[in-house]
Homo-oligomer: A and B are copies of this chain.
Amino acid sequence: MKEVGVGIVGFGTVGAGVVEGLLTGAALISRRCGVSVQLRAVADLDITTDRGVSVPAGILGTDALALVAREDIQVVVELIGGTGIAYTVVKQALEAGKSVVTANKKLLAERGAELFALARERGVDLYFGASVGGGIPIIRALRDGLVANDIRAVYGILNGTCNYILTRMAREGSAFDEVLADAQRLGYAEANPSLDIDGFDTAHKISILASLAYGVSVPLNEVTVQGIRGLSLVDVRYADELGYVIKLLAVCRECAGKRLEVRVNPTLVPKTHMLGSVSDVFNAVLVDGSMTGDTLYYGRGAGRAATASAVISDIVSVARHVAAGLPREAEPLPSIEASGYALQKPEDCVSRFYIRLMVREACGMVGRFATILGNHGVSIFAASQHAATEAQCEAGYVPVIILTQPARAGDLQAALQEITEQGIVQSMPLSMCML
Closest CB in chain B relative to A411 CB, distance in Å? 33
A296 at the interface (CB under 8 A from B): yes
- Segment touching B, from A48-56, A109-117, A303-311: A303-311
Q: Knowing A141-B141, A274-B274, A329-B34, say if A295 contacts B297 (CB, 8 Å).
A: yes
A294 at the interface (CB under 8 A from B): yes
B32, B297, B305: which contacts A147 (Cβ < 8 A)? B32
The residue of chain B having its C-beta at the shortest distance from the C-beta of A325 within the complex is B324
- Per the bound structure, the CA–CA distance linking A96 and B295 in Å amounts to 36
Contact present for B293 and A148 (CB under 8 Å): no
The residue of chain B having its C-beta at the shortest distance from the C-beta of A22 within the complex is B148
The residue of chain B having its C-beta at the shortest distance from the C-beta of A149 within the complex is B309
B31, B144, B293, B320: which contacts A135 (Cβ < 8 A)? B293
Contact present for A137 and B148 (CB under 8 Å): no
A21 at the interface (CB under 8 A from B): yes
30 contacts between A and B (CB under 8 A): A17-B291, A21-B148, A22-B148, A29-B147, A29-B148, A31-B215, A34-B328, A135-B292, A136-B292, A136-B295, A140-B140, A144-B144, A144-B317, A145-B310, A145-B313, A147-B316, A148-B308, A148-B313, A274-B298, A290-B305, A291-B305, A291-B309, A292-B299, A292-B306, A293-B306, A294-B300, A297-B297, A298-B298, A320-B327, A324-B327
B25, B144, B294, B323: which contacts A313 (Cβ < 8 A)? B144
